[in-house]
A and B are shown apart, each in its own frame.
Chain A
Amino acid sequence: MAATKKKTPETAPWQWTIHEAADQLRQKKISSVELTQAHFERIRAVDSSVKAFLTLLEDSALAEARNADEKIAKGGNLSPLTGIPLGIKDVVVTKGIRTTAGSRFLEHFIPPYDATVMTKLRSSGAVFLGKLNMDEFAMGSSTENSAYGPTHNPWDLTRVPGGSSGGSSACVAAGEAMGSLGSDTGGSIRQPAALTNTVGLKPTYGRVSRFGLIAFASSLDQIGPFARDARDCAYLLETIAGYDPHDSTSVNVPVPNYAAELTGDIKDMKIGLPKEYFVDGAEPGVTKAVEEAIAVYKKLGAKFVDISLPHTKYGLPCYYIIAPAEASANLSRYDGIKYGLSLHETAKDLEDVYKSTRAEGFGPEVRRRIMIGAYALSSGYYDAFYKRAQQVRTLIKKDFDDAFGKCDIILTPTSPTTAFKIGDRTSDPYSMYLADLFTIPANLAGICGISIPGGFSEGLPVGVQLLGNTFAESDILRAADAFERVTDFHTQMADLSASAVKPKRKKSS
């Protein structure tokens, strides 16, 4: 399962990276329709075991692929994403296409508009294969909180693919889509990427519009890409990033040409190692892979500096006040009146419509978080919980401000463990929260982060997290790409028995 050095000369289209496919499309060696059909065949072959998709869009995808083929035939200025089959986390609203957020509440919800990221991807000519499974309202680290059943990790179907964007990570890992969008509130892109050997990037808060992202915790949520290498992530990010008048928290900072910044040169880049992330708690196999990644970066000419992020251990408690507090306010919109599930026919009065619909519509974890949030915001507890958490957030942000005075990027493990077994952590909610120990501080500080394939422990992928300062996505992407140029972890794909083709991609570049 783990990395062997053998390279196969021939690979199936579903194993290609986006930039490999973009080349093939331009050279007319394959059409977008063929590429799209190859992905639906792959989905038919493996998704009954992976269960990444909640909704498939075969008819509209093939129509989009035909349009892309016409664009390609005309030539001219094409996006790298023209004709590329993608999957979208079911928390991003899609006009006319059911969007559930993994919740029973929105089982029949058909959004009347597209999220800004969808509008941008549509104009790039991308092809949408379907909507992807997730923990309900993005609350969870395993997809086990989905009302539609868990997604399975392609590397070991008895294990979780991470979460909340587990469908987004699994579909890319299994070759069911070339890239995908997820959302990251406390690690929901980076942690699933780490558990599935994919690359997942959480942009700086404000880098990508949240218009049309079903809200969980508005001061933390960001949409970001999953792909099989840093270059593909760069293409996806530069397409979806940018100021949006529909989102007052999107920031008007120019979007760089991220792919052009992938020079491979990270000589003298200063990488900070925060001592608080290298203490007890991480699995030995994770620690070993991260140490080996550090050695790779040393060979590439990077300079390492020891740093301290002293408030790290307060990240988790701080997050579990702020995120539920915001969630309790955001999710008050699910009232059985405006849209979504409603028990109005059986309820005895208006109050009962609210209370019985919310009891029926929300799963156990969402209820827990709404109640924690309502408690933290309630009279008499506000100062002790919510206000204090916002002060701790300031201290965590200051930790990173100080650290980025000494280094360019920060390297840590993405998650303390590799993929855990389905069912292992569901009985103790707090044990599930620990999966995001290393990813949460970046959301609180608003900085960007990426998880890249860093090796394997007992056959399961290990992710290495690179954190960058605000709007320094170019730095972490360049460091990720430089690592990929001298390693082949990211080229390994899971060996799904349902597949007839040996699932090993050739090394790109």
Chain B
Amino acid sequence: MELTRDEVMRIAQLARIKLTEEEVTSLASQLSNILGHIAAMQEVDTSGVPISASILPVTNVMREDAAEPSLPIDEALANTPEREDNFARVKAVLE
């Protein structure tokens, strides 16, 4: 299984990680190697086998829709790099 440089750049875009030219080259080889090992899974006959997203026998755990005090805003935003009033500030999305 060989990943091309274009594929590595496509994945990096999906993952929102900036890569240098050298990193694209080394990741192409490292990820290809890992995916080569993972390919062993393709030989398993999975026809008719249900998926396991979790091993728990529970689904859709709900709680009462009751209002409760939450983390105070100042505490919640204490680690925020750029804050304005009660919000995390970001660069303009639409210019």
Q: Which residues of A contact B (CB under 8 A)?
A: 108-110, 112-113, 205-206, 219, 245, 248-249, 251, 311, 313-314, 316-318, 320-321, 328, 332, 335-340, 342, 344, 347, 349-356, 358-359, 362, 367-368, 370-372, 374-375, 378, 384-385, 387-395, 397, 428-430, 433, 444-446, 470
Contact = CB atoms under 8 A, between A and B. Distances in A.
A219 B54 CA distance: 6
B79 A110 contact: yes
Interface in B29-67: 30-31, 33-35, 37-42, 44, 46, 49-56, 58, 61, 63
Contacts of B44: 311, 314, 388, 391-392, 395
Interface in B1-44: 7-8, 10-12, 14-19, 27, 30-31, 33-35, 37-42, 44
Contact of B51 (A342, A378, A385, A391): A391
A320 B17 contact: no
User: For chain B, which range describes its interface: under 10, 10 to 19, 20 to 34, or 35 or more residues?
Assistant: 35 or more
B56 A206 contact: yes
A371 B12 contact: yes
A340 B17 CA distance: 16
Given A112-B71, A391-B46, A430-B33, A249 B93 contact: no
Contact of B82 (A344, A356, A387, A391): A344
A434 to B, nearest CB: 9
Interface of B: 7-8, 10-12, 14-19, 27, 30-31, 33-35, 37-42, 44, 46, 49-56, 58, 61, 63, 71, 75-76, 78-82, 88, 90-93
5 contacts: A110-B79, A362-B17, A367-B17, A372-B35, A433-B34
A370 B30 CA distance: 13
A218 to B, nearest CB: 9
Contact of A392 (B14, B30, B41): B41
Contact of B16 (A113, A355, A445): A355
A428 B29 CA distance: 11
Nearest to B75: A112
Given A388-B46, A395-B44, A113 B71 contact: yes
Given A350-B92, A388-B42, A328 B56 contact: no
A371 B31 contact: yes
A321 B38 contact: yes
Contacts of A316: 37
Please classify the interface of chain B as helix (H, G, I), strand (E, B), loop, or mixed, using the class held by over half of its residues: loop
A397 B49 CA distance: 12
A33 to B, nearest CB: 31
Nearest to B36: A430
B40 A387 contact: no
Q: Which of B34, B58, B63 has the most CB atoms of chain A within a 10 A radius of its CB?
A: B34
Contacts of A113: 71
Q: Which of B14, B38, B93 has the most CB atoms of chain A within a 10 A radius of its CB?
A: B38
B90 A371 contact: no
B37 to A, nearest CB: 5
A301 to B, nearest CB: 32
Nearest to A384: B42
Nearest to B60: A248
Contacts of B71: 112-113
